[in-house]
């Protein structure tokens, strides 16, 4: 036993703490001379006479702050402590890291942490749900209630206004385990086995080998456990509202859900009462698609590569198979695209022939083609191809799509990447772009840089257009300045993802129309890689 000057603790996750207690050992004597006198002193009397208790939620404090310093929140201190048991109390707050520092060393047996309330984050991961057969997935519904307690020990009451939220993720799979299990074999390589066989094997442990031979694993022991990314999807984006469409691949038999409940108040919490997922039978099994550049159906390495931010014409082939009389087929297809596309043609049959779709819709980021007069069914199973022109704004763009029945009762079915036709060799829905050409902010343009807001319909507004590439969510600001650097008008202050944007300025400032003269339009994008910005001049005349 020796004296100590500090303890630092990582509690593993934020806790609602309001009390720290520490005290010296009950028994024992010093065996060496200490700063307080000769050896043989009772250790229980050598408790610290000075202390500082601090805490933090910031991992940087725990990792990099010198043990001679306190964390960013000092919770209590004493420089004339004269009791064996130190009982430090403070208002309840969320803390993960704690430090007890003793300016003058002393002996400590235990440090205890106390608190009250509810954890700021709770996670729930469901068991695997077996749908009985591959199905299509629709919306996610859940019943979630928010409560608040007036204080410790008091019964909670419903409090919809409490700062408590829930986010839910979903993933789907083809088999009954999202993991791949391995056993160690004779020469150290691993063999894939089932979960039951893996659990019967002894746990992995490194064993000592004769001198000169590295430590190894014993054959027959448990090996690595990996995520099964072939048969299971990644966790979906987080859903923040009941009734949202879940973004997981269809045609899977198993599904799993995990929920994250967070609270910003110590005595507020959420209760997840139930979860349900909308589902319906398959339209076909499977529905696969592949995308390629028009004119380059067999690219090198089977990878479609397109220039960033430039118009490119793509083909999108889709093929369905039917394994049951109950699979009704489809008569419409929807593609999700980076921006509004320029539709070229629609083809069906083997060989492909150009046909006129019954109707189509080109939205901001959707292309929908309807063909109820030529439905794809088990008796009339025809491959199809869409050709369109668009632009890609990331080095990896997935052209997700789905097929559906216009007046059918069943849910839409997502298209899986695969071998849809022998005339194309990409076998995938992804289009890549050269990474070295990735420019976060590109194509900043004002068109005609003269603004004449006279109300005559000619140059009454000026459009600031630009393209974001390679970002999922970046802070974007579009503002107009005068030549002195003063902000005249903020057009945009929001988070945006990759795509092409157009924002309009009508020549007004905070107090009406601006005076004639020169102005500056500034587009700024704040990302993890830094801030990217471009400026253009604007002339205003009347």
Interior angle at CA 159, CA 158 and CA 163, nearest 5: 140
Q: Would the CA dihedral through 48, 50, 55, 61 be positive or negative?
A: negative
Q: Give the pLDDT of residue 22.
A: 95
Q: Angle at CA 468, nearest 5°, toward 462 and 472?
A: 135
Q: Strands 359-362 and 384-390, how do they pair?
A: unpaired
Domains of the chain: 4-115 (2.60.120.260), 121-176+232-280 (2.60.120), 179-227 (no CATH), 287-436 (2.60.40), 441-540 (2.60.40.4070)
pLDDT at 151: 81
**Tokens (6 digits) for 70:** 């306190």
CB proximity list for 272: less than 8 A, separation 6 or greater: 124, 142, 143, 144, 166, 259, 261
Q: Which of 173, 28, 186 is nearest to 108 (CA)?
A: 28
| pLDDT tens sequence for the chain (542 residues) | 577 899 999 999 999 999 999 999 887 777 766 555 556 678 888 888 999 999 999 999 999 989 999 999 999 999 999 899 999 999 999 999 999 999 988 889 999 999 999 999 999 999 999 999 999 999 999 999 999 998 878 899 999 999 999 999 999 999 999 999 999 988 778 899 998 999 999 987 655 445 544 456 788 899 889 999 889 999 998 999 999 999 899 999 999 999 999 999 999 999 999 999 999 999 999 999 999 999 999 998 899 999 888 899 999 999 999 999 999 999 999 999 988 899 999 999 999 999 999 999 998 889 999 999 999 999 999 999 999 999 888 888 999 999 999 998 999 999 999 999 999 999 999 999 876 666 888 889 888 778 888 788 788 888 999 988 888 889 999 999 888 888 989 999 999 988 889 999 988 988 788 888 888 899 999 988 788 888 888 888 88
Q: Is the model's pTM score more than 0.85?
A: no
User: ω into residue 286 within 30 of 0, thus cis?
Assistant: yes
Give residue 212's pLDDT: 44
Q: How many residues does the chain have?
A: 542
Helix (H), strand (E) at residue 60: helix 59-64
| Apex 133 CA angle, 131 and 134, nearest 5 | 95
Cβ distance 48 to 3 under 8 Å?
A: no
């Amino acid at each position: 036993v020796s004296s100590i000057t500090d303890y630092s603790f990582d509690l593993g996750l934020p806790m609602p703490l309001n009390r720290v207690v520490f005290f010296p050992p009950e028994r024992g004597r010093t065996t060496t001379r200490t700063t307080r006198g000769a050896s043989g002193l009772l250790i229980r009397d050598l408790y610290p006479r000075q202390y500082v208790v601090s805490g933090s939620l910031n991992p940087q404090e725990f990792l990099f702050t010198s043990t001679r310093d306190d964390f960013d929140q000092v919770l209590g201190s004493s420089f004339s402590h004269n009791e064996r048991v130190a009982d430090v109390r403070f208002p309840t707050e969320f803390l993960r890291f704690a430090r007890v520092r003793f300016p003058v060393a002393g002996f400590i047996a235990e440090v205890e942490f106390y608190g009250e309330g509810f954890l700021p984050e709770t996670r729930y991961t469901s068991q695997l749900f077996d749908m009985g057969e591959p199905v299509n997935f629709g919306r996610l519904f859940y019943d979630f209630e928010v409560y608040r307690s007036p204080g410790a020990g008091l019964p909670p009451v419903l409090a919809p206004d409490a700062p408590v939220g829930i986010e839910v993720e979903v993933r789907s799979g083809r088999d009954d385990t999202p993991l791949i299990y391995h056993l160690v074999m004779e020469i150290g390589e691993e063999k894939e086995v089932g979960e039951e066989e893996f659990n019967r094997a002894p746990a992995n442990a490194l064993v000592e080998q004769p001198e000169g031979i590295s430590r190894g694993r014993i054959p027959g022991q448990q090996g690595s456990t990996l995520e099964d990314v072939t048969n299971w999807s990644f966790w979906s984006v987080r859903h923040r509202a009941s009734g949202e469409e879940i973004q997981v691949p269809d045609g899977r038999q198993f599904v799993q859900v995990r929920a994250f409940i967070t609270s910003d108040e110590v005595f507020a919490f959420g209760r997840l009462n139930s979860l349900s997922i909308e589902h319906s039978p398959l339209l076909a099994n499977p529905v696969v698609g592949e995308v390629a550049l028009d004119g380059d159906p067999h690219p090198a390495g089977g990878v479609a590569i397109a220039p960033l931010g430039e118009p490119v014409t793509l083909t999108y082939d889709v093929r369905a198979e039917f394994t049951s009389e109950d699979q009704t087929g489809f008569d419409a297809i929807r593609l999700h695209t980076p921006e509004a596309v320029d539709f070229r043609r629609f083809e069906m049959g083997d060989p492909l022939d150009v046909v006129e779709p019954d109707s189509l819709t080109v939205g901001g980021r959707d292309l929908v083609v309807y063909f109820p007069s030529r439905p794809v069914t088990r008796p009339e199973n025809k491959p199809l191809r869409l050709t369109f022109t668009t632009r890609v704004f990331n080095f990896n763009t997935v052209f997700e799509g789905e097929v559906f029945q216009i007046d059918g009762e069943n849910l839409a079915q997502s298209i899986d990447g695969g071998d849809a036709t022998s005339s194309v060799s990409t076998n995938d829905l992804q289009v890549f772009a050269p990474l070295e050409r990735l420019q976060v902010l590109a194509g900043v343009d004002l068109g005609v840089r003269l603004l004449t807001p006279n109300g005559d319909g000619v140059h009454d507004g000026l459009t600031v257009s630009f393209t974001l590439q390679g970002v999922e969510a970046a802070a974007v600001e579009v503002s107009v300045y005068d030549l002195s650097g003063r902000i005249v008008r903020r057009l945009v202050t929001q988070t945006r993802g990759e795509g092409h944007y157009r924002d309009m300025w009508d020549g007004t400032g905070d107090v009406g129309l601006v005076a004639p003269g020169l102005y500056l339009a500034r587009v700024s994008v704040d990302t993890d890689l830094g801030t990217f910005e471009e400026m253009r001049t604007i002339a205003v005349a009347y």
